[in-house]
Amino acid sequence: MDFFSLREQYKEFFYKGFSVEVTEGFYQVTFSYEIPGLSEFETVWKFPDTGRTVDEAILHRLLFELGMAEAISYWKVTCAPVLRVQCGSLTEWQNKWWRKLFYNGLGEFMYVNGIEVSEEELLTIVCGQEAGEADGLAGETTGAPGRLTDTASYSGCLVPVGGGKDSVVSMEVLRNEDVTIYRINKDATVEHVLAAADREYKTCFVNRKLDPRILEMNKRGFLNGHIPFSAVVAFSTFISAYLQGIRYIALSNESSANESTVVGSFVNHQYSKSYEFERDFMEYIGSFLDTEIRYFSLLRPLSELQIAWLFSRYTKYHKAFRSCNAGSKQGIWCCHCPKCLFVYIILSSFLSEEEKVEIFGENLLDNPQNEKYFRELTGLDENKPFECVGTRSEVVMSLKKYLSKGGKALLPVKYADWLMAQPGDVDAALSEWNELHNVPEELVTVLKEEM
């Protein structure tokens, strides 16, 4: 089933609506979608209800936006040329914003599936009456996309935690602040990380359930691949901050996330973790809502190297954290994926071989099966792995530091001459500071003190 034949057969995709039910201490939100002639889909979210008074117009607008982000998971099944939004309206500028997110956020998806089209060719978004609003929709309907004013006051920090080293660093940097941990669904690694902390955290636990029919589509050979999931997280954290009365949404995305995955192209596995998306996201929120809530990455001024340096000092988490996408939910390291290898390498400047083996269970640099990922991570091969990993130069600098300390593992030794000829020095890199960030000034001070 190729891109063009699917678009010819399934010309339209419908974002039909969303329903909201307040029950048992939760807002349960059901988003409804349809590919006519193929399938209907539903995504269900549950957000904790703290009893805080909310403006329903604001809440419904934020939910509508989350539904737009969730639509990407189902739209990509056939990549219908027209997306009909039946439950709300967008200004021309907002419409263009969403088309940019679809295009850039699905850059990896298009690259892997061999899809070569322009942003204008990929998608047309039609809203409201033009989209054919129908009576009897299960969904709420937003009004005209006017700008709303949020008069409520907010305080504290909402910190999304996935169990990896980056969110652990954010937790520790903000350990003296009023922090609420944001979690999506149950995850063994997050449980272990929170158990390793030396304080009790307030928690905002939300539940997200994709429609199982999407798995059926994947098995049948419809289009599948990476989506900009961090954009979904962005809208869901904003809704949670609004319901919880929290001012700052402090992500843990670093400056390294800005580097493209495919050399010389816009394709970036981490697009929705990039500074560009972060900036665009707050500009988009501001197009329809005036509020105190701010979304930013606390670690944006730092590189992966600097984050690894900070994390190496937080030894209480070393047995608990996991950054392996294949094994995180089960609380294990698979030791045979590019993410595992990257984390092993980036910690090599700061931890001994014995400390790393104690964390991972084996020396990942001594395994010849990891050579392909080694070459991709270092830049010996042109493109990086499609994973959330640091820059090629950071990997090279870490390996140079490892060799200079007498490291003898198979893969660095095999490529030692090439590695040592590359520019860059870990010690110099640790003093860098990226000015392209949106961190509030009071938290910049806290971060610099930690550094």
The pLDDT tens digits of the residues spanning 163-215 come to: 999 999 999 999 999 999 999 998 888 999 999 998 999 999 999 999 999 99
Please tell me the predicted confidence (pLDDT) of residue 138: 44
Distance CA 337, CA 140 (A): 43
Read off the amino acid at residue 108. E
Query: Judging by beta carbons within 10 Å of its beta carbon (0-12, 13-18, 19+), is residue 114 exposed, middle or buried?
Result: exposed
The pLDDT tens digits of the residues spanning 38-50 come to: 999 999 999 999 9
Tokens (6 digits) for 28: 């349960």
pTM: 0.94
How far is CA 250 from each of CA 63, 117, 298, 438, rounded to the nearest angstrom?
Answer: 20, 35, 5, 10
Distance CA 126, CA 2 (A): 24
Distance, CA of 268 to chain centre: 12
Tokens (6 digits) for 233: 């997280």
Give the confidence band of 257 by pLDDT, cuts at 50, 70, 90: confident
Query: Judging by beta carbons within 10 Å of its beta carbon (0-12, 13-18, 19+), is residue 110 exposed, middle or buried?
Result: buried
Distance CA 18, CA 88 (A): 10
Please tell me the predicted confidence (pLDDT) of residue 131: 61
> How many residues would you count in the chain?
451
Q: Return the higher-pLDDT residue of 145 and 307.
A: 307
Residue 144 has pLDDT above 60, yes or no: no
Tokens (6 digits) for 89: 């309206």
Instruction: Give the number of C-alpha atoms closer than 13 A to the C-alpha of residue 138, restricted to the C-beta side.
Output: 15
Give the confidence band of 329 by pLDDT, cuts at 50, 70, 90: low
Tokens (6 digits) for 192: 């272990």
Task: Tokens 């009456």: give the residue.
Answer: 129
**Strand, coil or helix: what is 343?**
helix
The pLDDT tens digits of the residues spanning 205-232 come to: 999 999 999 999 999 999 999 999 999 9
Give the confidence band of 382 by pLDDT, cuts at 50, 70, 90: confident
Domain regions of the chain by residue span: 3-143+153-160+202-297, 330-432
Residue 136 has pLDDT above 60, yes or no: no
